[in-house]
Amino acid sequence: MFLLAWAEIARGKLASHLATFDRSLLRPLQFGPYGKSIGGMYKPLSAPPTRGTNDHHPISRIYYINADTINRIQSLANRANSIKGNRQKNGRTRIAMNHGEQEQLFVKHRQVHPVCNYFGYVISIPFGDLSISNIMKKPLSSVADEVQEFLSSALKKEHFTGLINWVEPTLARIYCTSNEEEVAFVVSSGLIFPMRRVDFGWVGSYHFSWESSAGYVMPMRSPSRNGDWMVYMHCAKDHLEYLEEKVGYVFKPMSSHYLNLDI
How far apart are the C-alpha atoms of 253 and 256, rounded to whole Å? 10
How far apart are the C-alpha atoms of 162 and 30, rounded to whole Å? 9
Read off the pLDDT of residues 135-178 as tens digits, 9 standing for 90 and up.
Answer: 778 888 888 888 888 777 777 766 766 666 565 555 555 556 55
Give, for all 263 residues of the chain, the pLDDT tens digit.
667 777 787 778 887 766 665 555 455 545 555 566 666 666 666 555 555 444 467 888 999 999 999 888 888 777 655 444 444 444 555 555 555 444 444 444 344 455 555 555 566 777 777 777 777 788 888 888 888 887 777 777 667 666 665 655 555 555 565 555 567 777 777 766 666 666 666 655 555 566 667 788 888 888 776 789 989 898 888 889 988 999 999 999 998 888 877 65
C-beta of residue 191 within 8 angstroms of C-beta of residue 232: no
How far apart are the C-alpha atoms of 105 and 112, rounded to whole Å? 10
Exposure string over 134-165, b if 16+ CB within 10 A, otherwise e: ebbebbbebbeeebeebbebbeeeebbebbbb
**Residue 244 per-residue DSSP state:** H
How far apart are the C-alpha atoms of 153 and 159, rounded to whole Å? 7
How far apart are the C-alpha atoms of 219 and 189, rounded to whole Å? 6
Q: Give Cβ neighbours of residue 138 (< 8 Å, ≥ 6 apart).
A: 82, 83
Q: Where are the beta strands (DSSP E) in the chain?
A: 42-44, 58-65, 92-97, 99-100, 107-108, 111-112, 123-124, 127-131, 170-172, 182-187, 215-221, 229-236, 252-253
- Which among 1, 10, 255, 31 has a CA at the least distance from the CA of 164? 31
- Which among 154, 42, 143 has a CA at the least distance from the CA of 97? 154
β-bridge partners, 230: 64, 220
Q: Give Cβ neighbours of residue 89 (< 8 Å, ≥ 6 apart).
A: 132
What is the pLDDT at residue 180?
Answer: 54
- Rounded to the nearest angstrom, the gap between the alpha carbon of residue 118 and the centroid of all alpha carbons in its chain is 22
